[in-house]
Amino acid sequence: MSPTAILVGCAELPSGDGDDDAVVPALSSLGFSVSWAPWDAPVDFSSADAVILRATWDYAARRAEFLSWCESVPSLFNSAAVVRWNTDKSYLVELLDAGVPVVPTSLVEPGSPASFPSSDFVVKPSVGAGSRGAARFAGGADASAHVAALHAEGHPALIQPYQSSVDTSGELALVYLGGVYSHAFTKGAILASTMDESGLYLPEKLAPASPPADAVAVAEDVLDAASALLGILRAELLYARVDLVRGADGKPLLLELELAEPSLGFRQADPAAATRFASAVRQQLA
């Protein structure tokens, strides 16, 4: 009997945004019966051999409900524990404390006062997807109103110095499948972009990339540190996307580690990337 795989989207994007189109035939070629479904659809997800989060980008407004659903799915990738940890960007502080080179990050809990950098900075919600709620401010600006608005949603706010390298070289995203490097792509600055018509994400200018050695080294350290914090092996992560930027000294810094529902840039990757993904799914089931 063929193994079954459900790729999971949301009501606004029930079959994703197109980036995963090559994944369906790749999984089918390895013997999977594949379908798409929104995470909150009346579907028996427990009967599938693999339930793979791909475009569940409405979770931020319904995180408690989404996490409860995740915990009800036996064969979820990545696991519910990983999703819970990674959908709150407070994990950046944990990685910073673990010695990972992270963009300096201050966590402001609801009810706590905030202090703002003298240089340009970004304020973002600790729970959010697609850069929703993130805003850039000039150095010395008072962003208290924006912090208060994020606190009103019940989550901490993150304050980070703006990395000017994003304006010239954007971000570098390194994709790992089954804990092993697969491909990379660049992402342009998006804080001033217009939201996609779905209202769930900001479109990005993406392009294939060959990551330099120092970026790969940092990405490897990030995955090792995250796996240690989660108490798992790297190979247990079906997918991971490590987003890096260059700091003022030119060295790579972690901006975000995406382990829950990231776009994996298959449209910017070599044609074999979707097959590597399908093979990694089989590895997880084995």
- What residues have CB less than 8 Å from 184, skipping those under 6 apart? 172, 173, 174, 175, 208, 209, 210, 211, 215, 265
Q: What is the pLDDT of residue 209?
A: 96
Q: CA triplet 35, 39, 40: central angle to 5 degrees? A: 125
Q: Which residues pair with 121 in a beta bridge?
A: 137, 161
**CB of 9 closer than 8 Å to CB of 36:** yes
> 3-state DSSP call for residue 219?
helix
Which amino acid is it at 208?
P
Q: What is the pLDDT of residue 160?
A: 95
Q: What is the pLDDT of residue 176?
A: 98
Low-confidence ranges of the chain (pLDDT < 50): 191-196, 198-199, 201
**CB of 161 closer than 8 Å to CB of 120:** yes
Q: What is the pLDDT of residue 192?
A: 47
Which amino acid is it at 257?
L
**CB of 264 closer than 8 Å to CB of 19:** yes
